[in-house]
Amino acid sequence: MAIAATTPKETFRLSMLIYDTRYRSYTIQFVVLVLFVAFLAWLLNNTIINLAAKDKDINFSFLFQRAGYDLDQQLIPYTNDSTHGRALFVGLLNTLIVAVFGCFFATIIGVVAGVLRLSHNWVVSRLMTVYVETFRNIPLLLWIILAFVILSETAPSPRDFKVTDEMVAAGTEPAAHMILWDTVAITNRGTNIPMPYVDHHIGTLNFLDVPFNLTVAVALLIVLAGGYVNRIINRRAQVIQETTGVRPTTWWQSILVLFGPLVVYLWAMGLHWDLPVLGGFNFAGGINVAHSFTALLIAISLYTGAFIAEAVRGGILAISRGQTEAAFALGVRPGRTMQLVILPQALRVIIPPLISQYLNLTKNTTLGMAISYLDLKGTLGGITLNQTGRELECMLLMMAIYLTLSLIISSMMNVYNTAMKLKER
């Protein structure tokens, strides 16, 4: 009986691209790619033809032209003689400051509300339920407008803070008072808060015509260094606890490392505060925080916090109740059980939907246009677009910027999510 030593090699045929499962997936992917590239080419060609019919072209030179409009809130120097590109950057910074503070406050609100929704106290849990269901089921735009109206219409006018000689003689009080030891004034024109100043400046570094305050940069580096050293202290304490069963007292070391160098640095730089003072028809000095910023921040934090609360509640419920019972059996208090046992495990369930909420919050800052908050949408997608008539360029720039911001947020949170995943041994 003859046995073949080797299997004859099968020759390749074109029909195998369709009927052979080894090649069919590559064929489908190639066809889809070709169709997608053809669609993009058709779309680009159609756009160029239509622009040419209207005597237009794709040109971004308008970013270097004079803007000619003012911005109320600006984190970097800006005047109406600045370029549209600088106005874009100011609007981007206004978007980022709302997004950063909004994510921070929404996370705190969401974690607290999510934990309290599971409270055994009937009143507390029902109050949190009312909060979550109310904010989740009413459009964010309405909350933004409501917050702006409340701040603008209910706050006193600057003249209500004025104290005249007649009032002093009669012993009467003004209609409104400053709060926090006469350092903050809330009026219908905005909120005036103290501004920090230092007597000794390190200097300013200009990068791409954007000034960077080196004094502030050094302070941030000191904060980051303190956080890194505090992390080393906590890791060392954890090792000692795992080895001996006794955790050393480190709270005073953490306070000293986190705040000591910063306090010494600010004292050496001569930190003092410029307080708002009523002068004429309005307050002078300090920082004037526009109600549009405050209203947008309050509304977007409470709105997103309601969704985060549900993610937190779902994450906690995903943890087996046996974990809680085991902690109670060891004598761990309920608060410490939630902090040390439940929440660390629940984070693996909470973080993925939390990423989506951070992305939604960042994109929802565009709704600030309804109350005249000039962020990226208000500057580049609003005034600049109307003045220059470059609709396509402005829309492409905004889409690219928001896409970049979203990808950065997703990447950072995915790195954190990977660090929190259960490590297999």
Specify which of 173-187, 223-237, 274-288, 295-309 reaches the highest per-range mean pLDDT.
Answer: 295-309
Q: Which residue has the tokens 């006794």?
A: 246
Q: Which residue did the predictor score with more confidence, 145 or 197? A: 145
Compute the distance between CA of residue 113 and CA of residue 313 in angstroms, rounded to an integer.
Answer: 9
User: What was the pLDDT predicted at 80?
Assistant: 83
Taking CA atoms, 276 is separated from 164, 177, 342, 393, 420, in Å, by 18, 13, 46, 42, 45
Q: Which residue has the tokens 């492409």?
A: 396
- Give the pairing of strands 282-284 and 210-213: unpaired
Compute the distance between CA of residue 217 and CA of residue 294 in angstroms, rounded to an integer.
Answer: 26
Q: What is the pLDDT confidence band of residue 12, given thresholds at 50, 70 and 90?
A: low
Weakest-pLDDT range from 56-60, 275-279, 377-381: 56-60
Distant-in-sequence, close-in-space partners of 232: CB < 8 Å, separation ≥ 6: none
Contact between 67 and 82 under an 8 Å Cβ cutoff? The reply is yes
Residue 328 has pLDDT above 80, yes or no: yes
Q: What is the pLDDT confidence band of residue 10, given thresholds at 50, 70 and 90?
A: low
Compute the distance between CA of residue 203 and CA of residue 76 in angstroms, rounded to an integer.
Answer: 15
Residue 179 has pLDDT above 90, yes or no: no
Give CATH for domain 69-194+275-403: 1.10.3720.10
Distant-in-sequence, close-in-space partners of 188: CB < 8 Å, separation ≥ 6: 151, 152, 153, 155, 156, 157, 291
Contact between 188 and 156 under an 8 Å Cβ cutoff? The reply is yes
Taking CA atoms, 135 is separated from 119, 138, 294, 310, 408, in Å, by 20, 6, 18, 12, 28
Specify which of 279-288, 293-302, 378-387, 409-418 reaches the highest per-range mean pLDDT.
Answer: 293-302
Q: Which residue did the predictor score with more confidence, 33 or 420? A: 33
User: What was the pLDDT predicted at 8?
Assistant: 60
**Each residue's pLDDT tens digit, 106-142:** 999 999 999 899 888 889 999 999 999 999 999 999 9
Weakest-pLDDT range from 18-22, 138-142, 168-172, 237-241: 18-22
Q: Model's pTM, two decimal places?
A: 0.83
Q: Which residue did the predictor score with more confidence, 331 or 221? A: 221
What's the mean pLDDT when you consider all of the chain? 85
3-state secondary structure of 45: helix
Strands of 185-187's sheet, edge to edge?
185-187, 190-193, 287-289
Quote the percentage of the chain above a pLDDT of 90: 29
Residue 208 has pLDDT above 70, yes or no: no
Contact between 185 and 277 under an 8 Å Cβ cutoff? The reply is no
Tokens found for residue 386: 């109307």
Q: What is the pLDDT confidence band of residue 6, given thresholds at 50, 70 and 90?
A: low
Distant-in-sequence, close-in-space partners of 265: CB < 8 Å, separation ≥ 6: 218, 219, 222
Compute the distance between CA of residue 183 and CA of residue 277 in angstroms, rounded to an integer.
Answer: 9
